[in-house]
Amino acid sequence: MTLDMIFMIVGGLGIFLLGMKNMSEGMQAVAGDKLRRMINAITNNRLLACGVGAGVTCLIQSSSITTVMVVGMVNASLMTLTQAIGVILGANIGTTITGWILVLKVGKFGLPLIGVSAFFYLFAKRDRLRFTASVFLGLGMVFYGLQLMKLGFEPLGDMPEFQAWFAKFEPENYFGVIKCCLVGALLTAIVQSSSATLGITLGLAASGLIDFQTGAALVLGENIGTTITAYLASLGTNHNAKRAAYAHMLVNLIGVFVITLFFFPYMALIEKLLGGGMMVSSVEEGGKVVFAKSMQGIALTHTVFNVVNAFAFLPLIGLLAKLLYMIVPEVSETEISHLSFLDVRMLDTPALGIQQSQKEIIKMGESVGEMLPGLREVLERQKRNPKIEEALFESERRLDLVQKEIVEFLSNMMSGNISHYVMDVGRHQLRVADEFESISDYITVILKLNLKIHDTGQKMSAEGLADIIALHDSVANYIDMVNKAVVNDDGGILLKARSRGQEITHMMKECRTRHLERVGTTTTTPLKSLIYTDMLNAYRRIKDHALNVAEVLAGEK
């Protein structure tokens, strides 16, 4: 019987966690655009940031994912600390919806939901229908997992040893409340899912193994334990991201500490709101005895605490930020990161991760555009400038690294359960990143060719230099035009890009023709002539790669 009980509890917990994962991934795939709009709507308005945090958490069904995502966005400088605190407060509110889903008497619907949803998930052709089925499949697994855990806990009620053990954790006094909170915090820190420990708590309460007050104290502790996820995510991040993680810990720690001081009046208030009778049992179909009122009381305890705690801290966000700057002070040395936007913490939220990788693509285009003025200066002066030359080589090396990390990031993201839309956008981003990296390669090719002219003691003619500078300016303007299209996701740029591209090709051919005419009338070395034509071809290749970017935007590649 003990083995059966253990298998049922462990199996139920596993199904429950897998169901939560399916629900989260399905909701992200179905509501990806809504998530992106929510995140983009975040301003310094505290209520709006709180609302966004609550909304995102309700959609992805995990405050842990939301807070980890926030830490990643602060690390990428996409969100300020005060904005992050607002979102974290909202995430604490949003996570309470899980408790109410679990309170519903829907255990018997778990298997039918799994069965029907599985057919749609396996055989549906349309993406939206398939991922919607994934949401309901996850919901069915959550219901069924909770039902299995309830059944697994039932035999414990007939075991005197377990009854005596559970009796040690009854919150008869303040010390007992703290002890229950510590147990809830420890269990959540181990499982790293407050939803899972909430499910276990509700399962114990439904079976009558713990009373309402014990369950409520455990849930309060679970609010502390869930902060471990954000803390772990902050390891290796910049100081601002660490402050965001510590904000989550401080908000929940302070909130739980205060509420435990008024624990018994708070429990009396919850009982009054529900009309009393917290340990009155009821009989479900099949003759099973459950304590539904106790479950409702635990869910209400969780909700009221997080809502009140969030609204209590909203006016104090500025003070909390100042305290966090004292806890994690600024350092004198500059924190350097090759990537400003990408963060592995985004892999759990593909709908948002794909947006962050797009911002890194835009930054690659900007970096390429910034290399061209330096190259022009080196060419025009016809003198060595080691500082500019090294800066250009360093930019090219950096873009190589950026492209490599984008490939790794998108490959990891696309290996998961994602929608066709995210898959297509990811493929396009991989192609654009490759094109921008190739452009940077050809910029350094031109620089090396110019260095070879200097190293061999030669010099371009005034006419040849004027042609090169004119061609350079045309290509630089072309790159600027394509970069703006990437920023605005403007696929309509293709017609103009092709027309301008043909003009640049024609201009390059005219430069080559004039160069060959000069070769026939003046004395020049074969090496100098070869270097000059290689420069012209490199500019043409830069234009070709930029045109490829425009074709990707238009959906032709």
Predicted pLDDT of residue 373:
93
Tell me the C-alpha distance between 150 and 286, whole Å: 14
What is the pLDDT of the chain when averaged over all its residues? Answer: 82
Predicted pLDDT of residue 285:
46
- Domain assignment present for residue 29? The answer is yes
Question: What is the pLDDT confidence band of residue 338, given thresholds at 50, 70 and 90?
Answer: very low
The reply to whether 294 and 366 lie within a common domain is: no
- Domain assignment present for residue 335? The answer is no
Per-residue pLDDT reduced to its tens digit, 145-203: 877 877 777 676 566 666 566 566 677 888 888 988 998 898 888 877 777 788 888 87
Residue closest to 495 by CA, chosen among 435, 553, 438? 553
The reply to whether 147 and 260 lie within a common domain is: yes
Cβ(386)–Cβ(457) below 8 Å: no
The reply to whether 323 and 367 lie within a common domain is: no
Residue closest to 255 by CA, chosen among 312, 205, 214? 312
The reply to whether 319 and 359 lie within a common domain is: no
The reply to whether 158 and 307 lie within a common domain is: yes
- Domain assignment present for residue 103? The answer is yes
Beta bridge partners of 289: 283
Residue 39, pLDDT above cutoff 80:
no
Residue 240: domain span: 2-327
Predicted pLDDT of residue 200:
82
The reply to whether 74 and 213 lie within a common domain is: yes
Tell me the C-alpha distance between 204 and 155, whole Å: 11
Predicted pLDDT of residue 335:
46
Q: What CATH number did the domain enclosing 456 receive?
A: 1.20.58.220
With the CA atoms of 78, 81, 86 and 91 taken in that order, what torsion angle do they form, in degrees rounded to the nearest 10? 70
Q: Which residue do the tokens 């995210």 mark?
A: 422
Mean pLDDT of 445-460: 85
Better pLDDT: 471 or 358: 471
The reply to whether 66 and 94 lie within a common domain is: yes
Tell me the C-alpha distance between 282 and 190, whole Å: 33
Predicted pLDDT of residue 336:
45
Domain boundary among 327, 361, 394: 327
Tell me the C-alpha distance between 251 and 89, whole Å: 8
The reply to whether 318 and 453 lie within a common domain is: no
- Domain assignment present for residue 16? The answer is yes
Domain boundary among 262, 297, 327: 327
Per-residue pLDDT reduced to its tens digit, 231-281: 877 776 778 888 888 998 999 999 999 999 999 999 989 888 887 766 555
- Sign of the Cα torsion 67, 71, 76, 78 reads positive
Predicted pLDDT of residue 442:
94
DSSP annotation string for 509-554: HHHHHHHHHHHHHS---HHHHHHHHHHHHHHHHHHHHHHHHHHHHT
Cβ(282)–Cβ(292) below 8 Å: yes
The reply to whether 291 and 352 lie within a common domain is: no
Better pLDDT: 49 or 557: 49
% of the chain exceeding 90 in pLDDT: 27
Residue closest to 228 by CA, chosen among 263, 271, 193, 262? 193
Better pLDDT: 519 or 326: 326
**Model confidence, pTM:** 0.68
Q: Which residue do the tokens 């002890």 mark?
A: 179
Mean pLDDT of 316-342: 71
Residue 418, pLDDT above cutoff 80:
no
Residue 512, pLDDT above cutoff 50:
yes
Beta bridge partners of 282: 290
The reply to whether 318 and 365 lie within a common domain is: no
SS3 label, residue 343: coil
Better pLDDT: 339 or 295: 295
In 82-213, DSSP assigns E strands to: none
- Domain assignment present for residue 101? The answer is yes
SS3 label, residue 350: helix
Question: What is the pLDDT confidence band of residue 381, given thresholds at 50, 70 and 90?
Answer: confident
Alpha carbon separation from 453 to 459, 518, 527 (Å, rounded)? 6, 17, 9
- Domain assignment present for residue 118? The answer is yes
Domain boundary among 292, 327, 362: 327
Tell me the C-alpha distance between 511 and 473, whole Å: 14
Question: What is the pLDDT confidence band of residue 509, given thresholds at 50, 70 and 90?
Answer: very high
Q: How many residues does the chain have?
A: 557
Cβ(139)–Cβ(25) below 8 Å: no
As for how many domains the chain has, the answer is 2
- Sign of the Cα torsion 410, 415, 418, 423 reads positive
Tell me the C-alpha distance between 227 and 245, whole Å: 8
- Domain assignment present for residue 460? The answer is yes
SS3 label, residue 419: coil
Cβ(515)–Cβ(539) below 8 Å: no
The reply to whether 209 and 238 lie within a common domain is: yes
- Domain assignment present for residue 25? The answer is yes
Cβ(427)–Cβ(467) below 8 Å: no
- Interior CA angle at 550 toward 466 and 471, to 5°? 5
The reply to whether 237 and 313 lie within a common domain is: yes
